Structure 1
Amino acid sequence: MGSEHTDTGGPRHVAIIMDGNGRWAQARNRPRLFGHHAGARRVREIVEACPENNVKYLTIFAFSTENWKRTQIEVAGLMSLFRRYIFREMQEFVKRNVRVRFIGDRIKLDGKLRGLMDEAEELTEHCTGTNLTIALNYGGRDEVARATKRLARDVATGHLDPEDVDQETLPKYLDTRVLPDPDLVIRTSGEARISNFLLWQSAYAEYEFIDTLWPDFSAEEFHSLVSSYGGRERRFGGVKA
């Protein structure tokens, strides 16, 4: 599914780089973790807004492979927040028919968190509504490297002919292999960079870089961005006849 694109209507798949939690907290003279907790609450509102905006897939960037460079206190607080969030929201996901998946390298995450991730995926496996994908210990380059390693292993064992490898092959080895590519990528907080997020998958995505800090990002602003996407002409390298 990795190479799917549509050029009509609204975005089927929206990906969000949720940035600005720390600055939001600091502006209120609160610790950075206060902002992360506010940001986690915002996720529910945006997930709930997906059906009315005809967004079938929502992918959110929760923790990158580079975020381990933050202070030990902040990283530990984030891991605790992830555990509590997944545990608290699991039944809500089922209630709202939300299918949950996680992408990223799970090896570095603690066992309890990995167990909760597995449980959330299994519990929501039957859900047919919004597909929520949470990128946790995720990096685009890391994902491509891990995918390439799996591909190379298949070549070495004779399961894949090197001559058959093309641009349609690698997506089958990515973490997102069961997902369509994102149509729209949103980054909050005024930063205009993609920060190693869905590098392969976003080759033809539309981007929106907005000034709003993530804890202030509302369902109304989400709706506005999704609506404006529908007015864009998407040619994927072609020329309009």
Structure 2
Amino acid sequence: MTAHPERLQDSPDLDRSDRPLPQHVAFIMDGNGRWAKARGLPRTEGHRRGLEALRGAVRHAGKIGIDFLTFFSFSSENWSRPPTEVSFLMGLLKRFIERDLSELHEANTRVRVIGAREDLDPGILALLQKAETLTKDNTGLTVVIAFNYGSRDEIVRATRKLGARIAAGELSPEAIDEELFDRTLDTAGIPDPDLLVRTSGEIRISNFLLWQSAYTEFHFSPLNWPDFDAQAFDAALEDFCARDRRFGGLSVKVV
């Protein structure tokens, strides 16, 4: 797939130019709890409003022609949060799939899930598999949900898979290259993110898409995730479009 620079015209806040939009935008949706605390609300309300922001980002991306969105919805480290908060987040995930899956499917949106699936609650696992199965043949926007995901864990799991193939005599160590390793990750078949956006003003990537972000552009928004709207999304895209992406080479502006 390719980016669609002509679709910049669909968003009045974006600069109308022929600069290509990113094909793949990834989000670290940070600041739900801080958003709620600043308003004297429970953290759960911040998470609920964060889900509304996610819905808005999906709709906006579909309108302007981005091909892939990845959301860091629940990390493998988040299990250490208070049980009541974890339970609420699991319920929020269930409600999102139950409420939004039909709308996503009707919009020709494909859903992919990345992250460790071993030991997940059977009910949660069944919902994730349902979302992927129902939408697997859709050809529009792909929404990737990183659930029970940690990038180091993903890399370790991929290494184990390759090691098992070597032990079984199916693969020689010399055959392992970057392309094969990439195909063994959870994100196989998904292009690396062009742009990674983190909200809440934190400047780190917190064990998210470490392998895939080797040449990703980063945008750190001071907004907490529930306040991240279409205008903020457009600002991140404008920032991306102003970058000179060299991928280790010389600037295209160098003469």
Q: Shorter chain as normaliser: what TM range? A: over 0.9
Post-superposition offset of 1:157: 1.3
Post-superposition offset of 1:109: 2.2
The answer to whether structure 1 residue 32 and structure 2 residue 43 are counterparts is yes
Work out the CA distance in 2 between the residues paired with 1:160 and 1:43: 41
Name the counterpart of 2:106: 95
The answer to whether structure 1 residue 114 and structure 2 residue 125 are counterparts is yes
Work out the CA distance in 2 between the residues paired with 1:167 and 1:24: 40
**8 Å CA contact retained: 1:53, 1:223:** no
CA deviations 1:182-212 (Å, max 9, x no partner) are 0000000010000000000001000011110
Q: TM-score, length-normalised on structure 2? A: 0.89
Q: Which has the higher contact order (CA 8 A, sep 6+)?
A: 1
Question: Match for 1:220 among 231, 236, 240?
Answer: 231
Q: Residues 67-216 of structure 1: matches in 2 within 5 Å?
A: 67-216=78-227
Post-superposition offset of 1:52: 3.1
Post-superposition offset of 1:48: 0.7
CA deviations 1:39-62 (Å, max 9, x no partner) are 011111100111333210000000
Between the two proteins, the alignment pairs up a number of residues equal to 235
Work out the CA distance in 2 between the residues paired with 1:158 and 1:57: 36
Q: TM-score, length-normalised on structure 1? A: 0.94
Name the counterpart of 2:70: 59
Work out the CA distance in 2 between the residues paired with 1:235 and 1:31: 44
The alignment partner of 1:42 has SS state of: helix
**8 Å CA contact retained: 2:219, 2:239:** no
Work out the CA distance in 1 between the residues paired with 2:42 and 2:62: 34
The answer to whether structure 1 residue 15 and structure 2 residue 15 are counterparts is no
Moved over 3 A (4+): none
Work out the CA distance in 2 between the residues paired with 1:42 and 1:63: 16
Listed as ranges, the gaps of 5+ residues in structure 2 are 2-18
Work out the CA distance in 2 between the residues paired with 1:108 and 1:31: 29
Listed as ranges, the gaps of 5+ residues in structure 1 are 2-7
| AA partner of residue 157 (structure 1) | A
RMSD: 1.3
The alignment partner of 1:51 has SS state of: helix
